[in-house]
Structure 1
Amino acid sequence: MSCSVAVSNSPVFSPSSSLFCNKTSMLSSPETLTLTLSHLKPSQGSSSSSCSASSPTPSSPSSPFRLRIPKHPTGLSGPGSSSPSTVFKRKRPTRLDIPVASFCSAAPPATPSPATWRELVEIENDGYSVYCKRGRREAMEDRYSVGLNLQGDSKQAFFGVFDGHGGSKAAEFAADNLEKNVLAELMSRDGDDIEEAVKHGYLNTDSDFLKEDLRGGSCCVTALIREGNLVVSNAGDCRAVMSRGGAAEALTSDHRPSREDEKVRIENMGGYVDLCRGVWRIQGSLAVSRGFGDRHLKQWVIAEPETRVLQIQPEHEFLILASDGLWDKVSNQEAVDTVRSLCVGVDKPEPLFACKKLVEVATSRGSFDDISVMLIQLGGYI
């Protein structure tokens, strides 16, 4: 097998201009370099490791590549030339434009539109604001719920943030049903023992979800405002933080397997907690110890909330409910300071922008999770 390649004036052999030359130009060129691929048994002799196009040396008999370069006359005579000393100028082979598409089986993917990269929720209403941003998941798994003027009372409201995992079904179900289940329990108890009412509202919501035979789970944090009281509950690692005259006060405690009392509870029920890639998990799987759903871990992941009740005071400025996507990157006090700088003591309060600012800070620090932030102004409920 042989291939004839035209030789240019350059001392450096250029594959880009020579290996893609067409057949016609190779056959018509008076000066050719014949490269023969020999598959015969190599013969004994010395070998040469390199050759130069400008000063060729005979190839070794033992090399599988044999380079045969005929000696050129000092001058080349064209047709009708009368003098053998006439020298024709070598012509560079015509450059071939080979389209890139000929080497590719498919076109490069188009740049995705902004809508395919994020999903945003922006709500601003009298007394509360909500901002949610999708992380790097395929779909937003966070949900929220708001109920105002409950039972015809403008001083009664219900707020919730729900952080789903393993899909959004559990968070969506809880957001749609938890409020009515808690209110149903309150009515059945005539408003007495509000902590028990909230507890059974949570447990009933979890039981109803498990009957749906749906996968996934969800953490949550809720705030029920009733008769001047603030009732804050959580199951999982969503958190409620209140500003008391500018000082941050966490009203909930995260439910994670790393918490000592949660670890003891899980182990007493026959489960185990271990460290996986720097995170404490139940059965090597889930990084939260309470929440709705999680059927395969229901023996250890309970939906029973922890609840705190306090009377709203004038120094209670606002309440932040948010998923762990925020709290993993932003401290309680930093969150309160950010909101106060945009909402307290300014001519034009910007509560929605304050929520957005918190999400941007968490994202800039490397939070890849869905982030939901709800800001509730408490002054209107005193």
Structure 2
Amino acid sequence: MAEIDIGASSSNGRTNTIKLRKRPATLLLPEYFPRLEIFPRLEKKKEFEIEGRDFFLASKKGIREIMEDSYSFTVDILGDPKQAFFAVIDGHGGHAAADYVAENLGKNIVEALENVGDEIGRLEQAIRRGYLVTDKEFLSQGGFVHCRNGVWRVQGSLAVSRAIGDFHLKQWIISEPEIKTLPLTSDCEFLIMASDGLWDKVNEQEAVNVVLRERNVQESCKKLVDISCGRGNIDDITVMVVNLENFAL
């Protein structure tokens, strides 16, 4: 929350400071993105919100000095209004890998999509190529991720089996993505994407229930962040809710 100082005079002539808290202003983004759009990190802000076409994102920094979560999105991929890319990236051991993924993964997937032709499974191929290229480029530039202690982790370092930038864990951690395909029909209302700051405190069904109850992607994101923080979350948290109505086949 942002703090506002308000001066108030007391009976003894002294000026007292009253601190009020309010949500940060929402960033309104253009509704048309012909290609992948990258927006600068808001490192100085502890909390921010972004509103774009068909989605809303709310993010809040935890107790770390620097926000390690990141995000990326684009719509109208290859001129098709039903093709879009949305990502919430949960960084670990620093923000370098997450920032690099935010700036390059979507671009690499789109470039791969342009080169795979019209064969069956082209989208899956493009996603896989985009992931592998992003990981290779990040490592080739000297990027890497530091290990930290925490919950149960692979080799005592990382709590996931797939990641980008973990060169020292390549024997156990892969950048090969796990891809699941789901046809978007009229029954698909929304998509919730979030970092561990949400999922460590809120289960999937509860998150779905919040979005269904609020019926508004903006209020849903804010509510989910508030619920997690109210339950003691101290991790970075980023929540994105995408309205899928315009993407249904």
The amino acid that maps onto 2:240 is M
Give unmatched runs, 5+ long, in structure 2. 1-20, 25-42
Where does residue 329 of structure 1 map in the other structure? 201
Where does residue 175 of structure 1 map in the other structure? 102
Superposed CA deviations along residues 282-339 of structure 1, whole A, max 9, x for unmatched, are: 2222222211002222232111111111211111110001111111110111101111
Q: Given that residues 123 and 352 in structure 1 are in contact (C-alpha distance below 8 angstroms), is that contact kept between their aligned partners in structure 2?
A: no
Where does residue 291 of structure 1 map in the other structure? 163
Shift of 1:150: 1.5
Alignment partners' CA distance in 1, 2:222 and 2:145: 28
Local SS of the residue matching 1:282: coil
The amino acid that maps onto 2:213 is S
The amino acid that maps onto 2:75 is L
Which of 122, 125, 143 is equivalent to 2:70? Answer: 143
Please give the residue correspondences for 1:7-22 in structure 2 after superposition, counting only pairs within 5 Å.
none
Which of 196, 203, 210 is equivalent to 2:132? Answer: 203
The amino acid that maps onto 2:168 is H
Do the aligned partners of residues 128 and 296 (structure 1) sit closer, same or farther apart at CA in structure 2, a change above 3 Å counting?
Answer: same
Alignment partners' CA distance in 1, 2:196 and 2:57: 15
Q: What TM-score results when the alignment is normalised by the length of structure 2?
A: 0.77
Please identify the structure whose Cα radius of gyration is greater: 1
Where does residue 212 of structure 2 map in the other structure? 340
Shift of 1:134: 0.5
Local SS of the residue matching 1:325: helix
Alignment partners' CA distance in 2, 1:117 and 1:206: 27
Shift of 1:147: 0.4
Shift of 1:117: 9.8
Superposed CA deviations along residues 322-378 of structure 1, whole A, max 9, x for unmatched, are: 1111111101111011111111xxxxxx32121011011111112111111110001
Do residues 153 (structure 1) and 80 (structure 2) align? yes
The amino acid that maps onto 1:150 is I
Alignment partners' CA distance in 2, 1:284 and 1:314: 43
Where does residue 188 of structure 1 map in the other structure? 115
The amino acid that maps onto 1:289 is S
Alignment partners' CA distance in 1, 2:180 and 2:169: 26
Do the aligned partners of residues 118 and 184 (structure 1) sit closer, same or farther apart at CA in structure 2, a change above 3 Å counting?
Answer: closer
Local SS of the residue matching 2:78: helix
Aligned residue pair count: 205
Local SS of the residue matching 1:187: helix
Q: Given that residues 75 and 83 in structure 2 are in contact (C-alpha distance below 8 angstroms), is that contact kept between their aligned partners in structure 1?
A: yes
Do residues 366 (structure 1) and 238 (structure 2) align? no
Do residues 313 (structure 1) and 242 (structure 2) align? no
**Higher RCO (Cα < 8 Å, 6 or more apart):** 2
Alignment partners' CA distance in 2, 1:310 and 1:290: 21
Q: What TM-score results when the alignment is normalised by the length of structure 1?
A: 0.51
Give unmatched runs, 5+ long, in structure 1. 1-113, 218-275, 344-349
Please give the residue correspondences for 1:1-382 in structure 2 after superposition, counting only pairs within 5 Å.
119-192=46-119, 193=121, 194-216=123-145, 279-343=151-215, 350-382=216-248
Alignment partners' CA distance in 2, 1:126 and 1:296: 39
Do the aligned partners of residues 329 and 191 (structure 1) sit closer, same or farther apart at CA in structure 2, a change above 3 Å counting?
Answer: farther
The amino acid that maps onto 1:298 is K
The amino acid that maps onto 2:196 is D
The amino acid that maps onto 1:177 is N
Do the aligned partners of residues 209 and 314 (structure 1) sit closer, same or farther apart at CA in structure 2, a change above 3 Å counting?
Answer: same
Q: Given that residues 166 and 215 in structure 1 are in contact (C-alpha distance below 8 angstroms), is that contact kept between their aligned partners in structure 2?
A: no
Shift of 1:149: 1.4
Q: Given that residues 167 and 215 in structure 1 are in contact (C-alpha distance below 8 angstroms), is that contact kept between their aligned partners in structure 2?
A: no
Superposed CA deviations along residues 176-217 of structure 1, whole A, max 9, x for unmatched, are: 111111122222111432222211210110000001112327
Where does residue 77 of structure 1 map in the other structure? none
